[in-house]
Amino acid sequence: MNAHRRLACWFLLSGLVIPYSTVQAGSAEDWAKMRSIVPQGYVCQATDKPLRIDGRLDDPAWESAAWTGKFIDIEGTRKPRPRFTTRAKMLWDKHYFYIAADMIEPHVWGTLTKHDSVIFRDNDFEVFIDPDGDTHQYYEFEMNALNTGWDLFLPKPYKDGGRADNSWEIPGLKTAVSVRGTLGDPSNTDSGWSVEIAIPWAVLAKSANRPSPPRPGDQWRVNFSRVEWQHRVEDGEYRKVPKLREDNWVWSPQGIIDMHRPEMWGYVQFSDGTTGTRFQPDPSWPARVALMTVYHHQKSFVRKHKKWAGSLGELGLADKKWPGVIAAPKITPTDTGYVATVSIKTGNQRSREFQVRADSRLTEITPD
């Protein structure tokens, strides 16, 4: 289990504030493993009929929805392929964001039946949603094969001192599980399990900072994770193998073992069948890479020097090339740390400026 995430959850369940110095993470070393990854993209088609949420994925609407690529290890292709296949699909209408996943699994089991348990202690499927892509104010939902759920709201990532709001709920949420086999019976071999999730746009709208439901052509940052524990059978029951870290298989790889890096999540582009039908790579990606390069080097710098750097030279980045941006990022000290800014040119030659703060919030600066 990711040490930062385990510690953060311990504080969460204890009802304590997470000290920034305890769970702070992010560094130039982390970024070296992350920066070459290009997030996955997916076109989410609209459906004109509400889906029947039963976990079986046999609703006719799903036939028109493409599967994502097979999930890979959270660290990316430098790690072995997952032992079992996982794929996901998405659809949307004016009321819900629909998510389906299919997981090959020879032994389907679960133990947690209480809502808002720490679901990744079981094998699970997880959803992460950052509507406006600023890496803050994002949503997480986890569920196991018993259809037990855990919904969380993160004002900012754990690595930046964020504390999950475990009281956050999703009124109107619909979920279901279908097991191809016998749940919790180690005497036979199963085929797998599938899930369906319908998340109301009205709930996501509260912290989306943009239209929810989205406009056709809009892109939201989304990722999925499957947690899989190795097990053994004792006294006719499944038991996790002690001291073995769980497998973490994802749609869009993070590069490191931490799902709470929203800057690395995939892009979901919403289409109404006319607008947004072909996925468009994010034109701001070069700006995002440049700013997160500064952010991660600043994290290393402040831990070593107990202060923020005021220039690229202090960060050892004076001679770095910055592809896709107009000029090298500019660092401006602030009362709470610093702001780094950078600009890009779009296809119509309009200049767009972006900034990142010391707490990793990355936004486009709205022109006057």
pLDDT at 5: 53
pLDDT at 348: 76
Query: In the Cβ-directed half-sphere of 94, how many Cα atoms lie within 13 Å?
Result: 2
Give the gyration radius of the chain's Cα atoms: 21
DSSP string, 65-79: SPPPPPPEETT-TTS
Say how many Å lie between the first and final Cα of the chain, rounded.
46
Q: Tens of pLDDT along 127-185?
A: 999 999 999 999 999 999 999 999 999 999 999 999 999 999 999 999 999 999 999 99
What are 308's two structure tokens? 């923020």
DSSP bridge pairs for 223: 128
CA proximity to 128, closest of 115, 145, 116, 141: 141
DSSP bridge pairs for 178: 194
Q: Tell me the whole-structure pTM to 2 decimals.
A: 0.94
The residue ranges of every structural domain in the chain are: 3-25+36-271, 285-364
pLDDT at 368: 45
What is the rounded (10 degree) CA torsion for 317, 321, 324, 325? 50
Of residues 337 and 5, more confidence is placed in 337
Residue 17 has pLDDT above 80, yes or no: no
Residue 26 has pLDDT above 90, yes or no: no
Q: Tens of pLDDT along 234-260?
A: 999 999 999 899 999 999 999 999 999
Residues in the chain: 368
Contacts of 296 (CB under 8 A, 6+ apart): 26, 27, 28, 30, 31
Contacts of 342 (CB under 8 A, 6+ apart): 287, 290, 291, 322, 325, 326, 327, 328, 329, 330, 353, 354, 355
Q: Where does 3-25+36-271 sit in CATH, by number? A: 2.60.40.1190
pLDDT at 9: 53
Instruction: Give CA–CA dist 9/136, Å, rounded.
Output: 18
